[in-house]
Amino acid sequence: MAAVEEEVESGGSSGRPFWSGTITFGLVSIPVGLFPASRSRQGVGLRMVAGDDGAPLQRRYVCSKDDKPLDWDDIVRGYEIEKDKYVVVTDDELEALAPRKSRDIDLRLFVDRSEIDPKFFERGYFLAPAGGSNKAYRLLAEVMERSGRAGVATFVMRSKEYVIAIIAENGILRAETLRFADEIRSADDVGLPEHKKVKAAEVKKFEAAIQARAKKVDFHEFLDDYEKRIEDLAKRKQKKHEDVIRVSEPEEATDAGGGEVVDLLEVLSRSLGKGGGRKPARKAPTKRTAAKKTAAKRK
């Protein structure tokens, strides 16, 4: 099951949830907002360009028969029923097959947390209370945490149904999207060799090696500096004027994107009624934004 990628990329940058709905089970209804619990890596800004003049390249669809480029109006979706034989499926037909749109997180059952194998976890989110649901939210989180139970629920977003596990930690509800059973591979699928009995001396040797490295983990020690190395490489080559190409006709400058930096824990604290905390700083206006405002005033 694919993660809620598009929503996560655009959500949470302004302190607002990227999805909002209601946890429902029995006669209980708790409005909540969904926040991403991790940041997606954007990657380094490498782009395909022409080697002779540095002009940025564009990706286009081309017909495999005559190599002619196609416009969007010439493209339809096809389901392959046999090799090189397709049935055309329209957007209206796909919409009719999509799950019924709903803002409910249907909490179907509660299970012991140990029953959910970590290999089913796909992506993590925070659930924060919305509206006047703080009391009910707190109560549900406390009872679930005390009992060591997790909730299994389904919800629909962008015409797609997701299965999630709702887990309570430190008074906050966390949601983990779950993979479907047919997405999980077994040891037999990867062709592992048969298990063979090992000698006691070899077991002790491995136990000693593991014990020598046993300590509390700090994930801040594990850093991915690949992007930084690419950036440093580009700067070194620029300084030497090595392999630097320029676009013959400069493209129109665009804003870098960015967005506001928001402390998610601070947002959750305000939602949970703890109050206080700094408000996120406003995004500085770009030159283009300032120019538009100046032009509007002159009008």
Residue type, 46: L
* Per-residue model confidence (pLDDT) at position 248: 60
Q: Which of 118-122, 144-148, 205-209, 265-269 has the lowest mean pLDDT?
A: 265-269
Model confidence over 176-222: pLDDT tens digits? 999 988 899 888 888 888 888 888 999 999 999 998 888 887 877 77
Residues of the chain with pLDDT > 70: what percent? 77
Band of pLDDT at residue 293, cut at 50, 70 and 90 = very low
What does the pLDDT average to over 273-292?
Answer: 45
Task: Indicate if the pLDDT at residue 38 is higher than 90.
Answer: no
pLDDT given for residue 271 in this prediction:
55
- Residue 260 confidence class, pLDDT cut points 50, 70, 90: very low
Return the domain boundaries, the chain: 1-41+93-182+268-276, 201-239
- Read off the pLDDT of each residue in 101-110 and give the average, rounded to a whole number: 89
Choices 2.60.40.10, 3.40.50.720, 3.90.850.10, 2.40.290.10: CATH for 1-41+93-182+268-276: 2.40.290.10
